[in-house]
Amino acid sequence: METKGIIFDYGGTLDTNGTHWAEVLWRAYQKEGIAISRDMFREAYVHAERELEAEPVILPGDTFLDVLRKKTDIETRYLSGKGYWRVDELTRRPDAEHIALDCLAVVREGIARSKTVLRLLTDKYRLALVSNFYGNLRTVLSDFGIDCFTTVIESAEVGVRKPDTAIFRVALRRMGLSAAEVTVVGDSLKNDIRPAKALGCKTVWLKGIGWDGAQADAPEADYIISDIEELIRLQNDSCL
C-alpha cells in the first residue's frame, strides 16, 4: 500500500543523524579532556537519564540547550561525587557548559540536514513525530524552526514510552491513517523498528553509531540507511 504518512523519531534520528546520544556526549567529554573512563561515563549517563525521567527537572519551556545544560550538570556532579573525576566546582561548572555547547553544535548540524529532508517530504506526506521525551519537545522544535509535523507525540505527555506500540497507535489515530499507510523512520531497532513492524508499518532504520558502537544489519527493517538524506532517494525510487 502506498505510504501516506511518515512517523519520525526525534532523539538520535533528526538531531544526530543516527548517532546514539551516549556517543555524542562521550565524544564531547573526550574533546574537553575530561579524564574518566568510558565505563564511568556510561554510569553517569544512565544515572542522569533516570533522574530526568523520575524528577521534573526539564520544564515545558526549556530549549534543547537548557536540556543539555541540565543533563551535563547532573552527569558531571555524579562523576565528581563518586570520585571518578577529581575536580572543584570552579572547574566543573564551566567544563559542563562546554560539553553542552559541543553537543549543541552537533545537533545544529544534524537538524539542518533533517530540515532539508523534511521540507522535501512535507508536500507529499503527513508527517508525525513520536519520541520518548521530557515534555518540552514542542519548545525544542520551535526553537530549531521545525514546524512541519501535523502531530507531535511525546512520552511525557501521553504516559507511555516506546517500545510500547500504544504510543504509535496514538500517532496513527491522530494522523487518521492505518498502519499499512505509514512508514516509521528511527535509529533504534528496539524503540522504533520492531514496534512499528509489529503494527504493520513499513520501516526505515537509520543505522548509525549505537550505544556500543557499530551495529549489525537488521533484516526486520524494510530499508536501512546511514544518512537521513537517503530518505529522498527512497522517495524518488518509490520505496516509501
Mean pLDDT in residue range 202-224: 79
Lowest mean pLDDT among 127-141, 145-159, 204-218: 204-218
The C-alpha cell that represents 64 in the structure block: 534543547
Distance of CA 160 to the CA centre of its chain: 16
pLDDT 10s digits, 100-145? 999 999 999 999 999 999 999 999 999 999 999 999 999 999 999 9
* Strand, coil or helix: 203: strand
Cell for 193? 523498528
Least confident window among 4-18, 91-105, 175-189, 216-230: 216-230
Query: Contact, 185 vs 8, CB < 8 A?
Result: yes
Burial class from Cβ neighbours inside 10 Å (0-12, 13-18, 19+) for residue 160 reads middle
Tens digit of pLDDT for each residue in 27-68?
999 999 999 999 999 999 999 999 998 889 999 999 999 999
CB-neighbour burial class of residue 48 (10 A; exposed 0-12, middle 13-18, buried 19+): buried
Q: Which of 48-57, 71-80, 209-218 has the highest mean pLDDT?
A: 71-80
Side chain identity, residue 170: V
pLDDT band for position 22 (cuts 50, 70, 90): very high
Whole-model pTM over 0.85: yes
Percent of the chain with pLDDT over 90: 89
